[in-house]
Amino acid sequence: MIEIRLDETSQVPLYKQIVEQVRQFIATIQLQPGEHLPTVRQLADSLHINPGTVDKAYLELERDGLIVARRGGGTIISASANDPLFIVVRQRRLSNMISSSILETLSLGYSPEEIEAAFHRHLDRWREERKRHADILEPKEIKLDREKDTIYIVGSHDLALSILLSQLKHKIPEINIDVTYAGSLGGLIALQEEKADLAGIHLLDEETGEYNYPYVKRVLPGREVAIVHLAYRIQGLMFAMENPKQIKGLNDLRRADVTFVNRQKGSGTRVLLDSALRQHGILSSEVKGYERETNTHLAVASDIASGKSDVGLGIEAAAYACNLGFLPLFRERYDLVMPVANYRSKIFEPLLDIVKSQDFRKVVDNMVGYDTSQTGDTTFY
pLDDT digits (tens, 9 = 90+) for 213-252: 999 999 999 999 999 999 999 999 999 999 999 999 999 9
Q: What is the pLDDT, as a whole number, of residue 145?
A: 47
For the chain, give the percent of residues with pLDDT over 70. Answer: 90
Q: What is the pLDDT, as a whole number, of residue 263?
A: 95
Of 53, 77, 101, which residue is a domain's last? 77
The helix/strand/coil state of 276 is helix
Do 72 and 214 lie in one domain? The reply is no
Q: Is residue 335 part of a domain?
A: yes
Please provide the DSSP assignment of 335-372 as one string: EEEEEHHHHTSTTTHHHHHHHTSHHHHHHHHTSSSEE-
Do 249 and 352 lie in one domain? The reply is yes
Distance CA 316, CA 82 (A): 41
Q: What is the pLDDT, as a whole number, of residue 148?
A: 60
Whole-prediction pTM value? 0.71
CA distances from 149 to 152, 154, 164, 175 (A): 10, 16, 18, 7
Mean pLDDT confidence for 355-364: 94
Expressed as residue numbers, the domain containing 344 is 150-380
Q: Is residue 356 part of a domain?
A: yes
Distance CA 103, CA 108 (A): 9
Going by pLDDT thresholds of 50, 70 and 90, the confidence category of residue 100 is confident
Of 60, 77, 94, which residue is a domain's last? 77
Do 67 and 181 lie in one domain? The reply is no
Distance CA 60, CA 313 (A): 39
Q: Is residue 185 part of a domain?
A: yes
CB 239 within 8 A of CB 303: no
- Across 24-38, 91-105, 166-180, the highest mean pLDDT is recorded for 166-180
Distance CA 346, CA 334 (A): 24
Polymer length in residues for the chain: 381
CB 113 within 8 A of CB 139: no
User: Which CATH number fits the domain that encloses residue 44?
Assistant: 1.10.10.10
User: Which CATH number fits the domain that encloses residue 281?
Assistant: 3.40.190.290
Q: Is residue 351 part of a domain?
A: yes
Going by pLDDT thresholds of 50, 70 and 90, the confidence category of residue 51 is very high
Q: Is residue 208 part of a domain?
A: yes
CB 15 within 8 A of CB 60: yes
CB 229 within 8 A of CB 305: no
Do 71 and 157 lie in one domain? The reply is no
Q: Is residue 27 part of a domain?
A: yes
Of 77, 106, 122, which residue is a domain's last? 77
Do 205 and 69 lie in one domain? The reply is no
Q: Is residue 133 part of a domain?
A: no
Phi, psi of 147 (to 5 degrees): -135, 150
pLDDT of 139 above 50: no
Do 72 and 167 lie in one domain? The reply is no
Q: How many domains does the chain have?
A: 2
Phi, psi of 113 (to 5 degrees): -70, -40
Q: Is residue 339 part of a domain?
A: yes
Phi, psi of 290 (to 5 degrees): -55, -35
Do 68 and 211 lie in one domain? The reply is no
